Amino acid sequence: MTAEIIDRLQITAAIEREGEPVLRLDGVNIRNQITGKDVVRGISFTLKKGKVVGIVGESGSGKTLTCRAVLGILPELFSVSGGTIDLLGHDVLSLEPKQWTQLRGTSITAVFQDPGSYLNPSMKVGAQIAEVIRTKRGVTRQEAKQRTLELLADVRLRDPELVYGQYPFELSGGMLQRVLIAAAISLGPKILIADEVTTALDVTVQAEVLDLLADLKERHGLSLIVVSHDLAVVAQICDEVLVLRDGEVVERGATAEVLRRPKHGYTRLLIGEHHLYGLERFLDAKPTTPKPRLVDSRPILIRAEGVCVSYDSSTSRRQALKDATFVLRQGESIGVIGETGSGKSTLARALIGLVTPGAGQISIAGEDITGFSAARWRDFRKRGIIQYVFQDPLRSLDPEVTIADTLAEPLLLQGMLSKSEIRDRIYFRLDQVRLQPNLLNRFPGELSGGQRQRIAVARALVTEPKVLILDEPVSALDSANRVQILEILNSLRANGTSLMFISHDLGSVAGVTERVMVLYRGSIVETAATDDVVNRPGHLYTRLLVGSGPTVTSIGSIDRRSRQALREQLEAAS
């Protein structure tokens, strides 16, 4: 007994010294019990005190499974079939549930994507954090509450007292993530795993969260594991990077090294995508003088003037869109950028008639659609001039209807073509989105996410629309599918279709648009050519946006202090 204790003490002392390994994985294999196959093979890495390791990979690469193995929460179907995991001197694979309960929270912890779902929806968030402190540290309720308030202030929440008494559904995504981080560090763990924590957040909020993590690391001496599918996010704060593909580590090394001199083809692919379709495309380019304004003589397809939309709920009235004025010309491709609540979705919905503006005028293809009745909307929509692609490919396709019927629906509603003409049209568009005709008899549930989104695009194209509005079309997809869709969109541009690309991610937008509108809190704050917006941002918000965007190069991204300054200026101004 005594020998064990001495051993433990020695190990702990060793760990307290800077740079000592706190976590070591050696040749870890994780097996899927049902198929019997090892889905993760031979993962090894060492995490040292005060350092940050990043794990990059697509969905299915095994990054989340690895994290779960380290935490001891692998799903029932999976188990570690080989290798060792050493956590602060403990052999993870031989731990009993009681020991795990002791280790978690105090030594190692995690935060995940979709933070709201990781909190009990029927308890106030403050109480949930206090509960952990109370039960594990044995302090009084008062002391636990005090400590919780300190933590909430630590994660830079503006009004800790208020947030303490709120329920998860009352908080935004960014605030929830901070609450979760506060909960995670409440017991002073040595290791924090951040699994895709920024994926569902707006770019500016994303930068805030990453800044916060970096700050906490320095102040508390935390060791971090940051997991993401986006190499750029990892590049922001990690000292070392591991690239995972299909369950294996294909590349590892210091972040700067891996980014500058990638050895594996896959890594090069990931970096290349950023240069093709990300901010880097504009940032890398040699600085040019702003192009002289040419007179655009293309016919106007959409004209909006002074459009205002407000949402009235039982408790408040909220101005979602204020005085929106812009034009979209034939063949033009325009991006609409903004964060959650900026009004960009509202703008799109106003254009297609899903919400009625309180003021202003909108005309599409020369027809004034303001104040259309339901019946007139139906007639107008049947003409198929303007079409819409939803964000979520799973929900926008009827699961009980075959792909063929889904694609045919808009044409059947039009009622103008014969069956064989419809068939030809479908085949053509299917080919345009690079899918095979054998998918026609299948149901959406049998297709992958990328395929489904391409079907959604094809459906929007069957009526040969002049304008295609896409609301976050690639946000729910992983890298490979994202690139495919963006390429398809570019080919559509080449064929003369006008695009309106709505997103919170300037990176994807930059890849397919020639002009960008920036929305902030319901107003259009800047409209300029994409190149100008990226390289010479004017408005405060645009500058913050571009400066927050994670990139794989060091150009363009501004440092933490500048970001903080910009945020404060923005708050003061509005």
Partner 1 sequence: MASIHTERETLAYGGASAGLSSRWAVARSTLALAFRSIIVFVTVFFLATLLTFALQGLSGLSPAHLQLSESATPEAIAALEHEWGLDLPLWQQYLNWFGGIVQGDLGRSWYNGADISLLLTSRAAISLSIAGLALLIGVTLGAVLGITAAKFQTTWIDRAITTFTTFVSVLPPFVVGIGLVAIFAVWLNWFPSAGYVPLDRGGLGPWLSHIWLPSLALSMEAVADIARQLRVGLIQASRENYVTGALVRGLSSERIFWGHVLRNGSGPALTMLGMKFPNLIGGAVVTEAVFGLAGYGRFAADSASRGDVPAVQGVLVLAIVLVVAFNLLVNLLLVRLSPASARGI
Partner 2 sequence: MLRGIWQLPAGKLSVLFLSVIILLAIFGPALAPYDPLVGTDHVLAHPSAQHWLGTDYLGRDVLSRILAGSTISVLGSVQVAVIALFVGAIPGILSVYLGRTFEWLTLRLVDTLIALPFLVFAVAVTALLGNGIPQAMLVVGVMVSPAFYRVARAAALTISRSQYVEAAILSGASIGWIVRKHVWAKILPAIAITLANTMGTGFVVVSSLTFLGIGVQPPAPTWGGVLASDLGYLNFRPYAPLFTTVLIVLTVLAFNLLADVIRDVSGESGRALLIRREKKRGRTARQTSATIPPTPHGDPQ
Q: Interface residues with partner 1 (CB under 8 A)? A: 71, 73, 97, 101-106, 109-110, 112-114, 117-123, 128, 131-132, 135-136, 158-159, 162-163, 166-173, 175, 180, 183-184, 186-187, 196, 199-202, 311, 313-316, 318, 340-341, 345, 391-392, 472, 475-478, 504
Out of partner 2, partner 1, none, which partner does residue 114 contact, by CB within 5 to 8 A per kind?
Answer: partner 1
- In order of 11, 52, 101, 193, 221, the CA distances from 109 in angstroms are 20, 15, 11, 6, 14
| Contacts (Cβ under 8 Å, ≥6 apart) of 293 | none
Judging by DSSP bridges, how do beta strands 467-471 and 386-389 pair with one another?
parallel
Query: Between 4 and 571, whose beta carbon lies closer to partner 1?
Result: 571
- The minimum distance between CB 236 and partner 2, in angstroms, equals 33
Judging by DSSP bridges, how do beta strands 333-337 and 515-520 pair with one another?
parallel
Distance CA 417, CA 429 (A): 15
- The minimum distance between CB 131 and partner 1, in angstroms, equals 7
Q: What are phi and psi of 191, to 5 degrees?
A: -125, 135
Q: How many residues bind partner 2 (CB under 8 A)?
A: 43
Residues 338-377 vs partner 2: string with x where CB under 8 A? --------------x-x-----------------------
Q: What are phi and psi of 523, to 5 degrees?
A: -115, 150
Residues 192-231 vs partner 2: string with x where CB under 8 A? ----------------------------------------
211: enclosing H helix or E strand: helix 203-220
Asked if 311 is part of the footprint of partner 2 (rule: CB under 8 A), the reply reads no
Distance CA 242, CA 41 (A): 14
Out of partner 1, partner 2, none, which partner does residue 71 contact, by CB within 5 to 8 A per kind?
Answer: partner 1
Cβ distance 389 to 470 under 8 Å? yes
Asked if 392 is part of the footprint of partner 2 (rule: CB under 8 A), the reply reads yes
Out of partner 2, partner 1, none, which partner does residue 437 contact, by CB within 5 to 8 A per kind?
Answer: partner 2
Token pair of 400 as six digits = 């009980």
Out of partner 2, partner 1, none, which partner does residue 13 contact, by CB within 5 to 8 A per kind?
Answer: none
- The minimum distance between CB 553 and partner 1, in angstroms, equals 25
Taking 3-state DSSP, the helix, strand and coil percentages for the chain, each rounded to the nearest 5, stand at 45, 25, 35
- In order of 188, 318, 397, the CA distances from 456 in angstroms are 47, 31, 7
- The minimum distance between CB 57 and partner 2, in angstroms, equals 28
Distance CA 72, CA 5 (A): 23
DSSP code for 433: T
Asked if 35 is part of the footprint of partner 2 (rule: CB under 8 A), the reply reads no
- The minimum distance between CB 75 and partner 1, in angstroms, equals 10
Judging by DSSP bridges, how do beta strands 223-228 and 367-368 pair with one another?
unpaired
Out of partner 2, partner 1, none, which partner does residue 162 contact, by CB within 5 to 8 A per kind?
Answer: partner 1
Distance CA 78, CA 31 (A): 6
Out of partner 2, partner 1, none, which partner does residue 140 contact, by CB within 5 to 8 A per kind?
Answer: none
Query: Between 320 and 516, whose beta carbon lies closer to partner 1?
Result: 320
* Burial of residue 255, with CB atoms counted within 10 A of its CB: 0-12 exposed, 13-18 middle, 19 or more buried: buried
Residues 448-487 vs partner 2: string with x where CB under 8 A? -----------x---x------------------------
Query: Between 70 and 455, whose beta carbon lies closer to partner 2?
Result: 455
566: enclosing H helix or E strand: helix 560-573
- The minimum distance between CB 422 and partner 1, in angstroms, equals 32
Distance CA 502, CA 369 (A): 21
- Burial readout 367-394 (b: 16 or more C-beta within 10 A, e: otherwise): eebeebeeeeeeebbeebbbbbbbbbbe
Out of partner 1, partner 2, none, which partner does residue 120 contact, by CB within 5 to 8 A per kind?
Answer: partner 1
Sheet (strand 467-471) strand order: 386-389, 467-471, 498-503, 333-337, 515-520, 523-529
Asked if 416 is part of the footprint of partner 2 (rule: CB under 8 A), the reply reads no
R_g of the chain computed on alpha carbons: 26
The one among 325, 445, 562, 568 contacting partner 2 by CB under 8 A: 445
Q: How many other C-beta atoms are found inside a 10 Å radius of the C-beta of residue 35?
A: 9
Token pair of 468 as six digits = 């295609």
Asked if 378 is part of the footprint of partner 2 (rule: CB under 8 A), the reply reads yes
Asked if 384 is part of the footprint of partner 2 (rule: CB under 8 A), the reply reads yes
Query: Between 223 and 498, whose beta carbon lies closer to partner 2?
Result: 498
Out of partner 1, partner 2, none, which partner does residue 272 contact, by CB within 5 to 8 A per kind?
Answer: none
Query: Between 140 and 313, whose beta carbon lies closer to partner 1?
Result: 313
Query: Between 100 and 377, whose beta carbon lies closer to partner 2?
Result: 377
Out of partner 2, partner 1, none, which partner does residue 316 contact, by CB within 5 to 8 A per kind?
Answer: partner 1
- Which residues sit at the interface with partner 2, rule CB under 8 A? 352, 354, 378-382, 384, 387-388, 390, 392, 395-401, 404-410, 412-414, 419, 422-423, 426-427, 437-438, 440-443, 445, 459, 463
